[in-house]
Amino acid sequence: MRIALLARAHAGALVVLFVLTALACLLVSGLPRATQAAFDRALQRALISAPAVRTDLTVAGESRSPREDLHEPAAFAERERRWRALLPATLRPLVAPAGHMSAKTSLTPVTGTGGHTYINLGWLSDADRRVDWVAGRAPGAPSTTRFQGQRIPLFEVGVVEEALDQMNLRLGDTRTLGESDFAAVRIVGVFRAKDPADRYWTHNTDILHVTKLQPPGKLDFEFHTTTLIPDAALAALSGESRNLTYRWVLPLNGQAASALAVPGIGAGVAELERVLTLQATASTPYRLETGLPKVLGDFTAGLATAQTVMYLLLAGLLAVALGVIVLGVRLLTDRLDQTLALARARGGSLRQVAGTGAALTAAAVVPAALAGYALAFLVPGPVLPLAHLGPAFVLVAGVGFGAARVALAHRTPLHERRDDVAAARPSARRITVEALVVVLALTGAYLLRARGLSAQAGLDPFLLLVPIALTLAAALVTVRCYPYPLRLLVRLAARGRGAVPFLGLTRAARARAAGGLPVLILLPALAVSVFAAVISDGITGTQRLASWQQVGAPIKVTSTIEIPAATIDRIRATPGVEQVVTAQTARVQLGYSSERAEAIAVDVAQWRRLLAGAPIGLPELPGGPSALVSPELRDRGTLDIGWQSRIKAKVAGAIDAVPGFYRTGKFVVLPQDVLTRPAVNTLLIKGDVAPGEVARLVPSATVESQEGALAAIQGDPLTGAVRTTLVVVTVALALYALVAVILSLVVGAADRARAVAFLRTLGLSDRQAQRLTMLEVLPMVLVTALVGFGLGLALPAALGPGVDLSAYAGDLPVGGYSPDLLTPGALAAGLALVAVLGAYAHTALDRRRDLGGALRAGDLS
């Protein structure tokens, strides 16, 4: 047959098919690329925002013999080149070329302090680029001094400013270190970090800050600081008499990481650990220090849920898109029906007829698939196998259905069918298969809730199959069952005087061939879009709750020192400030033992008023010396608390968390008036005031806001990717659902027009024709909308523990969905409206047709 002539004759159907196919290929090829790019950004942000000490690869080794001591920077550089040569191939692109090295002693006590003060020696390969000397001078070469009648090494050192006050050190002091193998240090300089916020310092917090420790079972604290020594001091530093550790830091370049490479990165870290153990000598073992596996594990846990949700949505989108394409192919093949039947009657073979249907379908599908596939390359992101397989699957499915439908319709010449006379009876085999699908779907949903996710890492296929099976089962049940209530309505309509209700409902109940396919398209479209809307609303609500729990107030000000009363008065007088609640936080002693707890003294009644309208709250606290405590302290009865003075507080109740302060461990909430003299170090502020303005008034404090916390949660790339995909898929499915309704009207237009033409010869008016068309179309749309709506609301509960969305909601579990019914209701109403408008448009077009042209001569006999 002449394909070009047929294409010109059916150009409208081909254009519709072209648009549907191109859009489907663009979505199934472009969305995976976009989501994978979002996954990569999320991983890069996780690696960059984590402390460098957790993500960098640090090779550490203890020197236990003079033979293993490294006395010059060149020896450290030579070892670094060795470690870089041992890096597995998966880690080499991620390791930055510029690292640093260090040599530090640990647990070096100051002689005569009873183990309460420790001054360690530390060498950094790039100290000259990292610190500024604010007092004294940089340390010089070591020398010797006499102590207890023997010569001991004397190191010139520099200390951080913080150590001067907390450890009672002074510039020029000389302190003796050790209990048996002695050394001395002379403080010749005081330094300050050039950029204290640099991630570099997470490797060297012992140098930048004084460490204050309370040993178990003791009331006194230990103070530790690590001083800086110069390159020349390495010659006198030995592991024979000190706890000496060498470290080589290989910094990780987070910007070069890819989510697809996470399994390889984890395997590379394990391989590097194994190789380093083989480099150990008899006196110096080497090990790998990194928290990278933990960071990758946390990211993978959130990624698995994101992949599950996205692939579930993409699977539903692909199924609906294919269904709409099938409707478009059906529209095309229905219009070819008379032409192909005539060709078959004139001796055309089944292969020729089927080839014609496939070729004409391919004339629209092939260029559309290529166009959609090409447009997908405009979407930034890595090219996944799914980006290639999706368009290919759409192309094969479209052309294959076109050939199969034509072959089945014309397998015998002049094979007339009258589906409108009586509903076809399904075979026993088909009923058995459909019943099996329903049973398996329900069983799968039960098992998913019972067992949860697979313990193995990665995407759980069971979690993808169960929602698809539930959707398919609901569609099959709807297709099979919705004619039965219509038949009851037909019987009631038969008793009435009007013929239009009886005829319209009868055609709706019998139009199985025309009504079944739209149901299979509309139901998953509605179910997945409602599911996406419910999940999106659940995430949004939980994100807001998490932001309030993180901050505990619209604005929270915390300070390490007391906030002066004059500053508090200025904040109260700031325009926009409505309420200020003062509080004091501290770590307090419980009883007379070493047991400690976190405590906050606050006016709970004022705090409750400040939280009015927020999704969080606090229980009332009775007056007098009473306390709200953590669950671990609920059975104490009365607490003896050592704070400014000894306080005896009766336990008034237990709370799981104190919003903005404590979520785990032991904690106590006390009335502020139980303190002898409240030293306010925390402010809770309500009002329309910028956090920056508050920070200006209290420069020594940290200012947090609920809006800022919410923006940080929502700004996570992984969270943004999930929400964007939910929105895109919801909109796409809504459009596909509307297109499905329109196509279902067009597909049955010829048969409907013929029926209306018959009835017009019997006196059917235009208004009655419109009612007839609406009664034929609306039942399918309304029943499918209700079932899809219910299934979409039930899917989050059906999936249960299978979808953990806490990673996108501030680590709070997303549950107890209370969906906003506006979006689903608008979608269902839109479908009904399109069906009504389509019915009116259909009858309006039918009025222009000549009855003689709509009726064949054989139909009147």
pLDDT tens, position by position, 567-584: 999 999 999 999 999 999
The whole-angstrom separation of Cα 426 and Cα 507 is 18
Number of domains in the chain: 2
Residue 387 scores a pLDDT above 90: no
Q: Do the domain assignments include residue 541? A: no
Whether residue 580 contacts residue 568, with contact meaning beta carbons closer than 8 Å, is answered with yes
Say what the alpha-carbon torsion angle 781, 784, 788, 789 is, to the nearest 10 degrees.
60
Q: Do the domain assignments include residue 404? A: no
Q: CA dist 118 to 110, 187, 227, 231, Å?
A: 5, 14, 10, 22
Q: Both tokens of residue 121?
A: 């020696």
In whole numbers, what is the pLDDT of the chain averaged over residues? Answer: 82
Cβ-based neighbours of 417, under 8 Å, separated by 6 or more? none
Radius of gyration of the chain (CA): 38
Tens of pLDDT, residues 696-730: 888 888 999 999 999 888 877 777 777 777 788 87
Mean pLDDT of 624-644: 87
Q: What confidence score (pLDDT) does residue 858 get?
A: 43
Residue 68 scores a pLDDT above 90: no
**At 456, is the pLDDT very low, low, confident or very high (cuts 50, 70, 90)?**
very low
The DSSP string of 158-212 is EEEHHHHHHTT--TT-EEEE-SSS-EEEEEEEEEEES-TTSGGGGG-HHHHS-EE
Q: What are the backbone angles phi and psi of residue 846, rounded to the nearest 5°?
A: -65, -25
**At 461, is the pLDDT very low, low, confident or very high (cuts 50, 70, 90)?**
low
Tens of pLDDT, residues 272-317: 999 988 887 766 788 999 999 999 988 887 777 777 777 777 777 8
Q: Which is higher by pLDDT, 751 or 568?
A: 568
Strands 555-558 and 100-105: unpaired
Q: Do the domain assignments include residue 349? A: no
- Which one of 299, 330, 360 terminates a domain? 299
Mean pLDDT of 42-68: 89
The whole-angstrom separation of Cα 802 and Cα 86 is 40
The whole-angstrom separation of Cα 619 and Cα 44 is 41
Q: What confidence score (pLDDT) does residue 737 get?
A: 77
Mean pLDDT of 649-670: 90
The whole-angstrom separation of Cα 752 and Cα 20 is 24
Q: What are the backbone angles phi and psi of residue 399, rounded to the nearest 5°?
A: -65, -40
Q: What confidence score (pLDDT) does residue 672 get?
A: 86
Domain that holds residue 229: 53-299
Q: Do the domain assignments include residue 602? A: yes
The proportion of the chain whose per-residue pLDDT surpasses 90, expressed as a percent, equals 27
Long-range CB contact pairs, 85-91, < 8 A, 24+:
86/272, 86/275, 86/276, 86/279, 87/250, 87/268, 87/272, 88/267, 88/268, 88/271, 88/272, 89/268, 90/261, 90/264, 90/265, 90/267, 90/268, 91/57, 91/265, 91/268, 91/269, 91/272
Q: What confidence score (pLDDT) does residue 352 get?
A: 83
Find residue 247's DSSP bridge partners: 60, 102
Whether residue 510 contacts residue 775, with contact meaning beta carbons closer than 8 Å, is answered with no
CA 263 remoteness from chain centre: 19
Q: What confidence score (pLDDT) does residue 513 get?
A: 45
Longest Cα pair distance anywhere in the chain, in angstroms? Answer: 132
Q: Both tokens of residue 299?
A: 């990211």
CA dihedral for 465, 466, 468, 474, sign (positive or negative)? positive
Q: Both tokens of residue 84?
A: 């870089």
Whether residue 469 contacts residue 444, with contact meaning beta carbons closer than 8 Å, is answered with yes
Whether residue 375 contacts residue 393, with contact meaning beta carbons closer than 8 Å, is answered with no
Closest CA to 256 of 59, 47, 458, 50: 47
Worst-scoring range by mean pLDDT, 98-102, 151-155, 703-707, 805-809? 805-809
Whether residue 822 contacts residue 829, with contact meaning beta carbons closer than 8 Å, is answered with no
Cβ-based neighbours of 576, under 8 Å, separated by 6 or more? 687, 688, 689
Q: Do the domain assignments include residue 89? A: yes
Q: Give the side-chain half-sphere CA count within 13 A for 371.
A: 14
The whole-angstrom separation of Cα 686 and Cα 579 is 5
Q: What confidence score (pLDDT) does residue 667 get?
A: 93
The DSSP string of 110-127 is BTTSTTSEEEEEEEETTH
Q: Do the domain assignments include residue 453? A: no
Residue 174 scores a pLDDT above 80: yes
The DSSP string of 10-45 is THHHHHHHHHHHHHHHHHHHHHHHHHHHHHHHHHHH
Q: Do the domain assignments include residue 132? A: yes
- Total Cβ atoms within 10 A of residue 797: 13
Q: What confidence score (pLDDT) does residue 594 get?
A: 76
The DSSP string of 532-574 is HHHHHHHHHHHHHHHHHHHHSSSEEEE-SSPPPHHHHHHHHTS
Worst-scoring range by mean pLDDT, 38-42, 92-96, 597-601? 38-42
Q: What confidence score (pLDDT) does residue 447 get?
A: 76
Q: Both tokens of residue 480?
A: 């099979």
- Which one of 269, 299, 329 terminates a domain? 299
What is the distance in angstroms between the CA of the first residue and the CA of the last residue of the chain? 33
Mean pLDDT of 556-566: 89
Worst-scoring range by mean pLDDT, 26-40, 177-191, 387-401, 821-835? 821-835
Closest CA to 207 of 114, 103, 70: 103
- Total Cβ atoms within 10 A of residue 802: 22
Cβ-based neighbours of 306, under 8 Å, separated by 6 or more? 35, 39, 718, 721, 722, 807, 808
Q: Do the domain assignments include residue 160? A: yes
Strands 117-124 and 222-228: parallel
Q: CA dist 240 to 65, 79, 244, 286, 391, Å?
A: 5, 20, 8, 17, 68
Q: What confidence score (pLDDT) does residue 514 get?
A: 46
Q: Both tokens of residue 91?
A: 């880690």
- Total Cβ atoms within 10 A of residue 578: 12
Q: What confidence score (pLDDT) does residue 815 get?
A: 64
Whether residue 777 contacts residue 835, with contact meaning beta carbons closer than 8 Å, is answered with yes
Tens of pLDDT, residues 517-533: 677 777 887 787 777 77
CA angle 570, 576, 581 (to 5 degrees): 60
- Which one of 272, 299, 326 terminates a domain? 299
Q: Which is higher by pLDDT, 422 or 707?
A: 707
Q: What confidence score (pLDDT) does residue 823 get?
A: 67
**At 516, is the pLDDT very low, low, confident or very high (cuts 50, 70, 90)?**
low
Find residue 288's DSSP bridge partners: 59
**At 166, is the pLDDT very low, low, confident or very high (cuts 50, 70, 90)?**
confident
